[in-house]
Structure 1
């Protein structure tokens, strides 16, 4: 046997012929996610001038993936993460008042569990789009860390279902993003 195949696996140009493993869900493929000017109905309102476009609601692992769209400058929220967050800036820029770094277009940021920060979109940024992969919850807090609210995969899914129902696509439109 060729040692290169045993080290890296079989790389022959043939599809897997074996049986599908039990309980494996179907792949989730969302076309056109980089089209930030997509159908306006896909954007779920979150706050004034703030929307999210869901890409995945993983209810069994407690995470969600979405694109956050912000069309205002100023403070968005102060929050603490209960799990890790990955962020890729697609357009615009933002930062946290508590940190010296800036998240800028084309950049990536990792935010560890337990981090508390205040998200600001600076003056002069008309639009900010960031792809977020959020595990766990955001706990919204005041300046002293007192909890004010919580957002997680379940509240995001509920908001998406409500939005899609209200605009005529039906609440189950959001279910295509559930895994």
Structure 2
């Protein structure tokens, strides 16, 4: 049987019609180059910054790099949705759990989990990529809400920062899908 298809059909790009209403792909170059332009890092609190990679407003999640240059308690929070974390540098743990997230580790945190994030004293810098669905609900030691952070508050914080450092508020738009 003879085929008219070229033998390397797998190497051809799709040539059909695109599906309707598909968002454009997004590529953020050099995300593992941690010593990038400091203006990319949005201050979150004292010695804590995040670098946005993706803000999904339609699905309510965000992906960012979190950089911490201090030791001690960072926050106590509850997750409204699942969280995925990959540690790129340093290490951290939750006071409520026996495990440690160390460089090269992946952690899954289920919705509803409440924990207190601590960076140990021997860590000068911790960088972790977080994929957060839903919100962080910051709580006191008894679980009472004291603050909320979600994709929309992260976008607002990034807009304000990028405007302040001269990149312009619209710089954040490249991360919004």
TM-score by length of structure 2 reads 0.95
Alignment correspondent of 1:26: 24
| Aligned structure 1 segments of 4 or more residues deviating by more than 2 angstroms | none
Alpha-carbon distance, 1:156 to partner: 0.4
Q: Match of 2:10, SS? A: coil
Given the two structures, how large is their TM-score scaled by the length of structure 1? 0.94
Aligned to 1:114: 112
1:14 and 2:12 correspond: yes
Answering whether residue 75 of structure 2 is matched by residue 77 of structure 1, we say: yes
Contiguous gaps of at least 5 residues in structure 1? 2-9
For structure 2, the 5+ residue unaligned runs are 2-7
Deviation at 1:11, TM superposition (A): 6.2
- Aligned pairs for 1:1-179 within 5 A: 12-179=10-177
Q: 1:146 to 1:11 in 2, by over 3 A?
A: farther
1:12 Cα offset (Å): 1.3
Deviations 1:128-163 (A, max 9, x none): 000000000000000000000000000000000000
Aligned partners of 2:10, 2:130: CA distance in 1, in Å? Answer: 35
The separation in 2 between residues aligned to 1:48 and 1:41, in whole angstroms, is: 16
Distance 1:172 1:78 in 2: 31
Q: Secondary structure at the match of 1:145?
A: coil
Instruction: State the alpha-carbon separation in 1 of the partners of residues 173 and 79 from structure 2.
Output: 25
Q: Distance in 2 between matches of 1:144 and 1:11?
A: 61
Distance 2:163 2:39 in 1: 11
Residues in 2 aligned to 1:116 and 1:49: alpha-carbon distance in whole angstroms: 23
1:77-107 per-residue CA deviation (whole Å, 9 max, x = no partner) reads 0000000000000000000000000000000
Q: Hey, what's the Cα distance between the residues in 2 that align with 1:79 and 1:11?
A: 50
Cα separation, 2, equivalents of 1:12 and 1:82: 41
CA root-mean-square deviation:
1.2
